[in-house]
């Protein structure tokens, strides 16, 4: 009797575990199936609802300065759409989605994809082809379309902003160190990377630093480099990093770089101090970094072009394949409104400083006029960013291993700043060893 009872309990327990296992597996399989398909019509029958019903769109993302106000704005004119947004850290976004996919949990309707991870999003194959909903790729900035297009021609999202980058400076410090705060005169003084090293001597003599962080300039050089991170199955580590790190070392040795870690609270606090003159500055950084960290700095900033015009950052909005047809259509309508319609694009510009990738508006000088030029003492930074820099900037394709390269770049740049005797060869070797550990795909060659 006892044996029977124990057996019965054990069988129950095993059955329970099997059910758990099967539940997980079936959830996962369902998720995989839906992720694998790109046909928007092959979705949920429950989706069909009366046109008067409210459609709920879920969203995960870090970009509360842009997404949240945009949702509110859209809901004002579209009462049949309701957004449920969940704040997810930038660094957790991909992981959270992967875990949801692995466990068969529900994915959000709309997903923001950072440019550095866009290739990883493509690999996951969970996003709708926006051309199925009517997105005309010829109407958007070519580089944005190119970044969002998969090998088989699917356009998995669209970038919300063009992200041209310049070099911002504090006018009072520029005048003190270089004798002028005029952007045209300063532009002539800083036409090459070497100019930053040469003129850095003046900053050093005045007890100032040109830049606050070795990591920040490494990031600038990385995005400005025309060396592709990956060609075929080869990661061009040495070529790209030699380009980046040699410039960092030249600036470090000239004593023009301070040792703050980029993006930390203490690093951000330097925007308001009187020690650091220049900051690599994508257009979104004006709102996110300058205006936020230097609240009393209105009118004290200027902007010049970097020696090589470049684009930095940005995120694309995509629609998950697991959403219902109704949600997908509503999500596309929102994305189209936010990027390609006057009202939405203006909201993005005015609320977050985002200039859309919709060509018709991007090339319209009246549209691209930023409302915050008073921070730059009335300088026409809009023309500089969206006409001059945007037309010149080279856009380099990302790699699925971009995040590993970026992680190595940050670490090596930090080590270079910590060890002033570290040579380029040392730095390259350290980075190579780290990258070899991070890149776990045997089919990838690191050069």
Partner 1 sequence: MKNTRLSKYAGFWPTIFIAPFCIFFFVFNLYPILYSVYMSFLDWNGYSEKKFIGIENYVNIFTKDTTFWSSLFNTVKIGLLGFPISIILGLIFASLLSRVVRGRRFLQTSNFLPYITTPVAIGMMFTFLFEQHIGMVNRLITALGGEAVNFIGSKFWAPIVIAFMIIWKDTGYFIVMYLAGITSIPEDIYEAAEIDGASKVQTFFHITVPLLKNVTVFLVITSMIYAFQLFDEPNLLFTNQSSSTVGGPGQSCLTMVWNFYNQAFGPNPRMGYASALSCMLFLIIVAVSLVGMKVMNKEED
Query: In this structure, are residues 230 and 399 in contact, taking their beta carbons and an 8 Å threshold?
Result: yes
Residue nearer to partner 1 on the CB measure, 34 or 58: 34
CB of 341 to partner 1, least distance (A): 31
By C-beta, is 183 or 353 nearer to partner 1? Answer: 353
Residue 268 C-beta: closest distance to partner 1, Å: 9
Q: How far is the CB of 7 from partner 1 (least distance, A)?
A: 11
Per DSSP, 113 falls in state E
Binding site for partner 1 (CB under 8 A): 1-2, 5-6, 9, 12-14, 16-17, 20-21, 28, 31-32, 35, 90-91, 94-95, 98-99, 101-102, 117, 120, 124, 213, 215, 219, 258-267, 269, 400-401, 403-404, 407-408, 410-411, 414-415, 417-418, 430, 433-434, 437-441
- We find the least distance from the C-beta atom of residue 404 to partner 1, in angstroms, to be 7
Minimum CB distance to partner 1 smaller for 56 or for 261: 261
Instruction: Give strand ranges (E) for 288-384.
Output: 301-304, 310-311, 315-319
- Judged by beta carbon, residue 4 or residue 50, the one nearer partner 1 is 4
Calculate the CA 432 to chain-centre distance: 24
CB 170 to partner 1: min, Å: 18
Give the residue with the Cβ less far from partner 1, 124 or 351.
124
Per-residue b or e along 400-411, where b marks 16 or more CB atoms closer than 10 Å to that residue's CB: bbbbbbbebbbe
**Residue 189: CB minimum distance to partner 1, A:** 28
CA distance 270 to 254: 20
**CB of 207 or CB of 378, closer to partner 1:** 207
Distance of closest approach, residue 205 Cβ to partner 1, in angstroms: 21
- In angstroms, the Cα distances linking 233 to 244, 333, 400 are 21, 37, 11
Residue closer to partner 1 by CB (options 5, 45) is: 5
The closest of 165, 176, 170 to 277, measured between CA atoms, is 170
The answer to whether the CB of 168 falls within 8 A of the CB of 301 is: yes
User: What 3-state class would DSSP assign to 236?
Assistant: coil
Q: Give the span between the Cα atoms of 386 and 162, in whole angstroms.
A: 8
Instruction: For residue 181, give the nearest of 376, 369, 373, 370 by alpha carbon.
Output: 376
CA distance to 87, 98, 129, 286, per residue, from 92 (Å):
10, 10, 24, 24
Q: How far is the CB of 195 from partner 1 (least distance, A)?
A: 25
Report the residue number, 16 or 42, with the smaller CB distance to partner 1. Answer: 16
Query: Distance of CA 29 to CAs 18, 122, 127, 197, Å?
Result: 16, 19, 17, 56
Smallest gap from Cβ 37 to partner 1, in A, equals 15
| Nearest one of 431, 426, 428, 424 to 401, comparing CA atoms | 431
State which residue, 98 or 192, has the beta carbon closest to partner 1.
98
Question: In Å, how far are 140, 168, 270, 317 from 121, measured between CA atoms?
Answer: 20, 32, 34, 11
CA distance 325 to 42: 8
CB of 359 to partner 1, least distance (A): 30
Collect all residues with Cβ–Cβ distance below 8 Å to 435 and sequence separation of at least 6: 235, 237, 404, 405, 408, 446
CB of 189 or CB of 422, closer to partner 1: 422
Provide the minimum distance between the beta carbon of 323 and partner 1 in the complex, in angstroms, as a whole number.
Answer: 17
Min separation Cβ 198 and partner 1, Å: 26
At a CB cut-off of 8 Å and minimum separation 6, what does 106 contact? 58, 100, 322
Give me 224's structure tokens.
């400005």
Q: Provide the phi-psi class of 50: left if phi over 0, else alpha when psi is between -120 and 50, else beta.
A: beta
Q: Is 150 or 414 the residue whose CB approaches partner 1 more closely?
A: 414
Based on CB atoms, which residue is closest to partner 1, 120 or 379?
120
């Amino acid at each position: 009797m006892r044996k029977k009872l124990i057996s019965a309990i054990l069988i129950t327990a095993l059955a329970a575990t099997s059910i758990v296992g099967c539940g997980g597996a079936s959830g996962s399989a369902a998720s995989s199936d839906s992720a694998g398909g790109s046909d928007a019509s092959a979705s949920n029958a429950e989706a069909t609802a009366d046109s008067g019903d409210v459609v709920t769109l879920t969203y995960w993302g870090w970009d509360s300065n842009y997404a949240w106000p945009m949702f509110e704005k859209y809901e004002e004119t579209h009462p049949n759409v309701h957004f449920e947004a969940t704040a997810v850290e930038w660094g957790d976004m991909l992981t959270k989605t992967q875990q949801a996919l692995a466990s068969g949990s529900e994915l959000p309707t709309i997903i923001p994809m950072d440019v550095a991870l866009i290739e990883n999003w493509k690999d996951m194959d969970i996003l709708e082809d926006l051309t199925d909903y009517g997105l005309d790729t010829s109407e958007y900035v070519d580089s944005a379309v190119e970044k969002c297009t998969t090998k088989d021609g699917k356009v998995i999202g669209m970038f919300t902003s063009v992200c041209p980058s310049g070099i911002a400076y504090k006018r009072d410090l520029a005048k003190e160190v270089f004798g002028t705060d005029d952007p045209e005169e300063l532009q002539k003084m800083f036409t090459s990377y070497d100019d930053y090293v040469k003129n850095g001597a003046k900053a050093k003599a005045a007890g100032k630093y040109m830049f606050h962080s070795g990591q920040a300039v490494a990031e600038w050089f990385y995005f400005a480099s025309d060396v592709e991170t990956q060609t075929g199955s080869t990661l061009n580590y040495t070529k790209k990093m030699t380009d980046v790190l040699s410039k960092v070392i030249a600036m470090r040795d000239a004593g023009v770089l301070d040792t703050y870690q980029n993006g930390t609270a203490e690093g951000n606090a330097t925007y308001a101090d009187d020690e650091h003159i220049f900051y690599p500055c994508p257009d979104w950084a004006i709102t996110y970094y300058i205006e936020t960290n230097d609240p009393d700095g209105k009118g004290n900033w200027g902007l010049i072009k970097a020696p090589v015009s470049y684009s930095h950052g940005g995120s694309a909005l995509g629609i998950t394949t697991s959403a219902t047809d109704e949600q997908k259509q509503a999500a596309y309508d929102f994305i189209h409104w936010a990027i390609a319609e006057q009202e939405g694009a203006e909201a993005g510009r005015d609320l977050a400083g985002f200039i859309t990738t919709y060509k018709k508006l991007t090339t319209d000088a009246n549209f691209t006029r930023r409302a915050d030029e008073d921070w730059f003492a009335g300088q026409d930074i809009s023309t500089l960013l969206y006409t001059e820099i945007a037309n010149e900037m080279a856009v380099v394709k990302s790699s699925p291993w971009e995040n590993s390269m970026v992680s190595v770049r940050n670490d090596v740049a930090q080590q270079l700043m910590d060890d002033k005797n570290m040579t380029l060869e040392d730095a390259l070797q350290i980075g190579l060893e780290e990258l070899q550990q991070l890149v776990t795909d045997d089919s990838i060659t690191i050069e």
